[in-house]
Amino acid sequence: MGLALAEARRALATEDVPIGAVVIGPDGAVLGSGRNQREELGDPTAHAEVVAIREAAERLRQLSLNGGGRGDGWRLSDCTLIVTLEPCAMCAGAIVLARIPRVVFGAWDEKAGAAGSVFDVLRERRLNHWVEVYPGVREAECAALLREFFAGHRTRL
């Protein structure tokens, strides 16, 4: 979670909401990392989770093409995603489609969370893949970063 928090803090430089994510491989190596980049890139899909998943998939694809990896790259079936905020519906869908078996997150998102708060996409039994969810890791620290960001934004408006 420390690496995800570091990514979240990097988002502050571009005035993006400070959310960070990392994808960890089965050996504990970081395969991908990301932070919110919606403001920076003008891309509504540039959520931390999606950025990290894309990077991890590309790294695995390159390893496979070079003979040093396994699979096709897009199946992150042995990986763990760690993110500072409960994934939204879009990110939860990407997690399911990438076949990520475990998600660890910090703060709950009571407005848009899709890992148990508002929706539970990650454990929806009607889907073809289910995800183990480990919530509340360093929750206070993750939530404080978001609270401080939004408090600062409200005072500038």
- Per the annotation, where are the binding residues for Zn(2+)? 47, 88, 91
Do the beta carbons of residue 4 and residue 30 sit within 8 Å?
A: no
Active-site hit among 7, 15, 40, 49: 49
Spatial distance between the Cα atoms of 127 and 157, rounded to a whole number of angstroms: 42
49 carries an active-site annotation: yes
Q: Give the residue among 32, 31, 34, 30 at the shortest CA–CA distance from 21.
A: 34
User: Which residues are annotated as part of the binding site?
Assistant: 47, 88, 91
Residues with catalytic annotation? 49
